[in-house]
Amino acid sequence: MSKFCFAQQTTVKGRVSDAATGQPLLKCSVFFLNTHTGTSTDSLGKFTLTGNGTFSKIVISAIGYQSLTRNIVPGTQNKLDLKLGKSTTQLKEVAISARRRYRNKGNPAVELIRQVIAHKDDNRPQSANYVQYDQYERIGLTLFSIPPPLVNNFLFKPYKFMLDTAADGKLSAEVYLAEKKYKQYSRRDPEKSISVLQAQKESNIIKFVDTAGVNIYVNRIYGDKIDIYENNIFIIRNQLLSPIADHAPDFYKFFIKDTIRTAKDTMVELSFTPRNKTDLLFEGHLMVSLNGSYAVTACELNVNNQININFLRNLNVNLDFQKQANGRYFLVKSDAKADFGILKNKGFGVKGERTIYYSNYLVDKPLAPTFYQGKDEQVLPDFNQADSSYWAMGRPDTLSQTDARFYHKVGRLENMKSFKRATWLATTFTGGFADAGAFQFDLGQLAAYSPLEGLRLGLGGRTTPKFNKTIYLEGYVAEGTRDHQFKHQATAYYSFNNTPQYRYPNNYLKLTQKYDIGLPGDDQAGRNFHTPVSSFQTGSSRYYFYTHIVRIDYVKEYDNHFSFDIGFYNRNQSAAGTLKYTLNDLQQTVVNHITSSVLSVSLRYAPHEQIYQNNFGRNTIKYKYPIFTLVYNQGIKDVFNSTNNYSSITASITKRFYLSQLGRMDFTLTSGEILGKVPYPLLNVSAANQSVVYEPDAYNQMHYLEFVNDHYAGLNITQNFNGFFLNKVPLIKYLKWREYLTFKVLYGGLRAENNPALSSNLYNFPAPAASGSGTYALGNTPYTEAGVGIGNIFKVLRIDGIERFTYLDHPGISKYGVKFTVNIDL
């Protein structure tokens, strides 16, 4: 038993109301005097505060009200009925008439905000040369308003012990809880931040998304670090403009509400509201110090129900600041809560809360210079070994009864066989893999369709760490009802760090043998057309090829998200469908296949990359940091029947730009060059898309195999305005549609030595025919296309209208097209 179990426990339960009206007060802060142990009142004004210790006083405070200190009996349970009076020092001379038109000019509230904005850099902790502090964070997810028919279902009966009853009588169930303790260090010049994870404790009952995946995703939703001094606050996977952003008075209305005098400072309370309620803006209150620093001392951020964020019912962020020894106000507590549901105002939903405490600030106390040479993110060796006594001492507050019980409930739940079966079904449905312990079946390989293959039936799978933690195997088999070709892939991984190939970071040797069908340009678009939705095509192109490839790779990924892949492969490619390989000789000799042996080196660097991963795969979460890739290939003649010597190099930069109220822009710049004489199958085949589904990395009005080049440069821009313009259109704004603009341009060309019309011993380009538009090299005119899209239709559908501007004389092409995308997003 923990030695802390015998400490005296003081509990205070009560209700806080307005002394004048008797109405309950929401979001009042209730703390034990001279501690960080506290809580806040709910919508009924009720609170429960518990702490291990002999506390004798509590402090109750709320913006716009006089603080109240009450005596309590230490070591016992106390019950109080508390009434707060309005602050008596109001600025009556600046009262705003509702009938007077709002203006920035001459508005004392705006003048005060401009002072806050002017002093932002001085009030950041980062203004000091060196800062270090302790950080405790807690994240929880709860399902609430669980429907009675579900609770009363016989299938749910064994799990009723997981339920809790809320104050309104509705049933809820916590599904995820995580606690972490960090030590944070920062240096201003040269800029450096170091985060040391000291301890971590997590429980998760939604096992079809593993704990690492939940933690990253929840952090993205509830704000990794909410900094009021930043121009934009990243929360709910969007950028919301801070009320003290540089241009905040252009987007917000500000009003002075009150002045509050304390023993330490005099502060002004301001309220703010969006000028346009559908924009990504907050509404709420600010407390600003009048000691000359114009620092924010408290902040409440909310959103209204008209904001263009899907499924969001409520968002509330409270930031508390405390005066430090250097006279500056530093953040000591951040509490972000958000509720989501299919129905806007009622019914089943998901509620999350992320609470962070910051304490023990040390300013301008540098450590040894060698310390700041360490990794940005560090983890203590025994970070997950902390026991209950460590957490009892380490928490700056006390767990609620619901949270405290959750850890024990999860232990009981995980031992239930019925829960394991239910988790298996959920995992199979969401991940596309059926887990059989040491083996997982890939359900994505079951069925697809293409004109060449007909109905494609297949079966795939892979091993898991339960089979072997060093050796991993995966593969599939498939066959079409029309082409009767047996396709297959077999891959073996030898992991040097006992990590599956779908987890980060990797360090493995991989051997692959594969025979399958492909589309020209697939390697450029990075797509898999063996899916049911990709079976629907526009146009009549039937250019395909069969590829047999044997490949060996060594892949190494580092903690800083630099990685490399050194490989060698031998590829035999034969034309299929209406595609033919013919030499440009007098006889028009048909070539059955082309073979190449290639040494490949790939480099990738993704600084500050965040990865969402679960038990089946991983995906990079797009963020503001760029991703760089560089690939060099060296073709080697006469090795394993290879027919060509050549070199190729490709490079790309991908970055997302967040543009505050104008949404976000995804930007990709690519370039490449091939040195040497090669037939067109070995040239760069531009990534085309004739599927009805919009492909962000392909040219959506280009036909397959329409353009080949030995040097090229491309630019791809997608602008998501996130509803900024449509939000202001009467009636349309209630639909919460979102606007997209896309622009793609490709420059390139073909040297004479690789042009079959000018050089011998090459393959003829496919000629225009009913089955395709033919193949061409780009000339002096670039290929360009642009599109306008409307997204978030019924919250899931995006429709893009696309116009092609150049090379309109090519047979069979269409100047205009329509593509669809189905995606659920906040």
Q: What mean pLDDT comes out for the span 636-643?
A: 92
Name residues whose C-beta falls within 8 Å of residue 299's C-beta, 6 or more positions apart in sequence.
Answer: 228, 243, 284, 285, 286, 287, 317, 318, 319, 321
Three-state DSSP class for residue 615: coil
- Cα 551 to Cα 421, 483, 515: the distances in Å are 38, 25, 12
DSSP E strands in 606-723: the ranges are 610-613, 618-621, 627-635, 646-658, 664-675, 684-685, 708-709, 711-720
Least confident of 266-270, 394-398, 568-572: 394-398
Q: What is the pLDDT of residue 4?
A: 33
Report CA 349 to chain centroid distance, whole Å: 21
Q: How far is it, in rounded angstroms, from Cα 167 to Cα 185?
A: 41
Count Cβ neighbours within 10 Å for each residue of 412-427 and write b for 16 or more, e otherwise: ebeeeeebeebbeeeb
* Cis previous bond, 465, omega within 30: no
**H helix runs in 169-241, sequence order:** 211-222
For residue range 196-239, list pLDDT tens digits in order. 999 988 887 765 555 555 666 677 777 778 889 999 988 877 88
Please count the other Cβ atoms lying within 10 Å of the Cβ belonging to residue 673. Answer: 17
pLDDT tens, position by position, 256-282: 988 877 767 888 889 999 998 888 899
380-387 contact pairs (CB < 8 A, 24+): 380/196, 380/197, 380/198, 380/199, 383/197, 383/198, 383/199, 383/200, 384/199, 384/200, 384/201, 386/199, 386/200, 386/201, 387/2
Secondary structure (H, E, C), 363-416 = ECCCCCHHHHHCCCEEECCCCCCCCHHHHHHHCCCCCCHHHHHHHHHHHHHCCC
What is the gyration radius of the CA atoms in the chain, in angstroms? 31
Any idea what DSSP says for residue 533?
A: G
Residue 773 has pLDDT above 90, yes or no: no
Residue pLDDT, tens place only, 747-760: 999 999 999 999 99
pLDDT in tens, 60-116: 887 667 778 899 998 888 899 898 887 644 333 333 344 468 888 888 999 999 999
pLDDT at 104: 86
Q: What are the residues facing 355 on neighbouring strands?
A: 138, 335
Least confident residue range of 308-317, 337-346, 374-383, 560-569:
337-346
Of 86-95, 119-128, 343-352, 719-728, which gets the smallest average pLDDT? Answer: 86-95
Whether the per-residue pLDDT at 434 is higher than 80: the answer is no
Residue 94: per-residue pLDDT: 37
Q: Is the pLDDT of residue 642 over 60?
A: yes
Residue 95 pLDDT: 39
pLDDT over 90 (residue 343): no
Query: Residue 15: pLDDT above 50?
Result: yes
| pLDDT for the residue numbered 382 | 86
- Tell me the pairing of strands 377-379 and 192-204: parallel
Q: Which of 50-64, 286-300, 680-694 has the least mean pLDDT? A: 50-64
φ, ψ of residue 421 in degrees (nearest 5): -65, -45
Across the range 806-825, mean pLDDT stands at 90
Only one residue has tokens 């603009």, namely 741
Give the Cα separation of 220 and 238 in Å (integer).
Answer: 9
The mean pLDDT value for 563-584 works out to 91
Residues of the chain with pLDDT > 70, as a percent, come to: 91
Cα angle for residues 111, 114, 117 (degrees, 5° grid): 160
pLDDT at 513 over 50: yes
Q: What pTM was estimated for this model as a whole?
A: 0.79
Q: pLDDT tier at 169 (50, 70, 90 boundaries)? A: confident
For residue 525, the model assigns a pLDDT of 47
Q: What is the pLDDT of residue 3?
A: 35
3-state secondary structure at position 217? helix
For 461-491, write each residue's pLDDT tens digit: 889 888 999 999 999 999 989 989 999 999 9
Q: Is the pLDDT of residue 557 over 50?
A: yes
pLDDT of residue 712: 96
- pLDDT attached to residue 526: 47
* Confidence band, pLDDT 50/70/90 cuts, at residue 6: very low
Q: What pLDDT shows up at residue 64? A: 66
Give the model's pLDDT for residue 422.
72
- Enclosing H/E stretch for 149: helix 148-151
Written as one letter, the residue type at 81 is D
- Who wins on pLDDT, 440 or 495? 495
- Is residue 695 within 8 A of residue 529, CB to CB? The reply is no
Read off the pLDDT band of 431 (50, 70, 90): low
Instruction: Give the CA angle between residues 483, 489, 494 to the nearest 5°.
Output: 175
Quick one: average pLDDT of 702-719? Answer: 94
Q: pLDDT band for position 802 (50/70/90)? A: very high
- Write out the two tokens for 112: 């005060």
Q: Minimum mean pLDDT among 191-195, 308-312, 495-499: which range? A: 308-312
At residue 536, the pLDDT reads 54
Of 42-51, 426-435, 511-520, 649-658, minimum mean pLDDT range: 426-435
Please, what is the average pLDDT of the chain? Answer: 85
pLDDT tier for residue 677 given thresholds of 50, 70 and 90: very high
